[in-house]
C-alpha cells in the first residue's frame, strides 16, 4: 500500500515509525508504580462532576502533551474526551499505554461509551467522535465520515458537538498541532459558555492549531503545557 503524505509535509511512514519507537520504549518500563497515581494537582475536588465534560484536541506533538496533562489529574476528574490526529490502530495502542501511565481510566472510544468521572475516551483513528446527551448522561458516537479540515477524526467535529450538547458545563483545550482543526469548534464552545484553554507558543511543538484558535478569540486562557492541568482545575472550582 502506498503511503501518502500528511497535509503538512510529514509522511505517514515517518509518523508511524516514530510512534512505534515510543511504544517500544514505553513497553520496557515497569508501569505498576504509575497506574492510579497522580501528583495531586487538585487537593479539593467536588464529589460529583457528572455534568461536566473536558474536551481536548491535538495533532503534531500532542501524544506527549496529552500525557503531560493527564498524568497530573486525579481519578475523579470529570469525563474527558480527546481527538488526537493519529492513524487507525495506533489510537488503540496509544490509549492502552496512557491507561497504564495515568490515574484515569483511558480507552479508545466506541459508540455508546458513557462520558463519566474518571474516564478518558480517545477517538478512533479512522472515525469522527461526537457527544450526545442521553437523559442526564453523555455518551459518544463514533462514525465514519468525510475528512473535516483534512482529518478524521476531526477536533472541530468533537468540539462543535460539545458546544451544542454540553455548553457551559464544558472545558475545551486545544494543544500543539499543525493547521487549524479545532479552532472554530473551540470558538463555538466559548460562545456556548464553555471555558477554553490554548497551549502557548513556547511549549508547543507546532504552534498552529492553538495560534489560529487564539487569533479567532476562542481562547479564554493561553498558558504553557505544564500549567494547563492547574487551569483546568481552577475552571472547575469556579463551577
Other CB atoms within 10 A of residue 164 CB: 15
Nearest Cα to 53, choosing from 113, 117, 110? Answer: 117
Q: Would you place residue 20 in the very low, low, confident or very high pLDDT band (cuts 50, 70, 90)?
A: low
Other CB atoms within 10 A of residue 152 CB: 22
Q: Is 32 a catalytic residue?
A: no
Q: Is 128 a catalytic residue?
A: no
The pTM for the full model equals: 0.83
Q: Is 217 helix (H, G, I), strand (E, B) or coil?
A: coil
Place of cell 484515569: 104
152-197 pLDDT, tens digit per residue, is 999 999 999 999 999 999 999 999 999 999 999 999 999 999 999 9
Catalytic residue among 113, 156, 169, 181: 181
DSSP string, 67-123: HHHHTTS-TTSPEEEEEE---TTHHHHHHHHHHHHSSSEEEE--TT-EE-TTEEEE-
63-86 pLDDT, tens digit per residue, is 999 999 999 999 999 999 999 999
Catalytic residue among 38, 85, 192, 200: 85
Q: Would you place residue 12 in the very low, low, confident or very high pLDDT band (cuts 50, 70, 90)?
A: low
Lowest mean pLDDT among 5-14, 132-141, 217-226: 5-14
Output the pLDDT for position 49: 78
* Residue 65 C-alpha from the chain's centroid: 9
Q: Would you place residue 214 in the very low, low, confident or very high pLDDT band (cuts 50, 70, 90)?
A: very high
State the Cα–Cα distance between residues 93 and 9, nearest whole angstrom: 24
Output the pLDDT for position 238: 87
Average pLDDT over residues 30-51: 51
State the Cα–Cα distance between residues 130 and 18, nearest whole angstrom: 28
Catalytic residue among 59, 192, 203, 204: 59
Q: Which domains does the chain have, with CATH numbers?
A: 54-238 (3.40.50.180)
Output the pLDDT for position 179: 97
Q: Would you place residue 32 in the very low, low, confident or very high pLDDT band (cuts 50, 70, 90)?
A: very low
* CB distance 237 to 215 below 8 Å: no
Percent of the chain with pLDDT over 70: 80
Q: Which three cell numbers stand for residue 216?
A: 479567532
Q: Would you place residue 239 in the very low, low, confident or very high pLDDT band (cuts 50, 70, 90)?
A: confident
119-144 pLDDT, tens digit per residue, is 999 999 999 999 999 998 999 999 99
Nearest Cα to 113, choosing from 137, 91, 97, 89? Answer: 137
Q: Would you place residue 6 in the very low, low, confident or very high pLDDT band (cuts 50, 70, 90)?
A: very low
Q: Is 181 a catalytic residue?
A: yes
Amino acid at each position: 500500500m502506498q503511503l501518502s503524505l500528511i497535509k503538512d509535509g510529514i509522511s505517514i511512514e515517518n509518523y508511524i515509525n516514530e510512534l512505534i519507537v515510543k511504544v517500544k520504549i514505553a513497553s520496557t518500563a515497569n508501569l505498576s508504580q504509575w497506574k492510579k497515581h497522580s501528583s495531586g494537582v487538585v487537593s479539593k475536588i467536588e464529589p460529583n462532576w457528572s455534568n461536566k465534560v473536558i474536551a481536548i484536541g491535538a495533532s503534531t506533538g500532542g501524544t506527549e502533551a496529552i500525557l503531560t496533562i493527564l498524568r497530573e489529574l486525579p481519578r475523579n476528574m470529570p469525563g474527558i474526551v480527546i481527538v488526537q490526529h493519529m492513524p487507525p490502530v495506533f489510537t488503540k495502542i496509544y490509549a492502552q499505554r496512557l491507561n497504564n501511565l495515568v490515574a484515569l481510566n483511558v480507552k479508545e472510544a466506541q459508540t455508546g461509551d458513557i462520558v463519566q468521572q474518571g474516564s478518558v475516551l480517545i477517538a478512533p483513528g479512522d472515525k469522527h467522535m461526537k457527544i450526545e446527551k442521553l437523559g442526564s448522561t453523555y455518551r459518544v458516537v463514533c462514525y465514519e465520515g468525510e475528512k473535516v479540515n483534512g482529518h478524521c477524526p476531526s477536533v472541530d467535529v468533537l468540539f462543535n458537538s460539545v458546544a451544542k450538547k454540553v455548553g457551559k458545563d464544558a472545558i475545551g483545550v486545544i494543544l500543539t498541532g499543525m493547521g487549524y482543526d479545532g479552532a472554530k469548534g473551540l470558538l463555538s464552545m466559548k460562545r456556548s459558555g464553555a471555558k477554553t484553554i490554548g497551549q502557548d507558543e513556547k511549549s508547543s511543538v507546532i504552534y498552529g492549531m492553538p495560534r489560529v484558535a487564539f487569533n479567532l478569540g476562542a481562547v479564554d486562557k493561553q498558558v504553557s503545557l505544564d500549567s494547563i492541568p492547574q487551569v483546568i482545575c481552577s475552571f472547575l472550582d469556579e463551577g
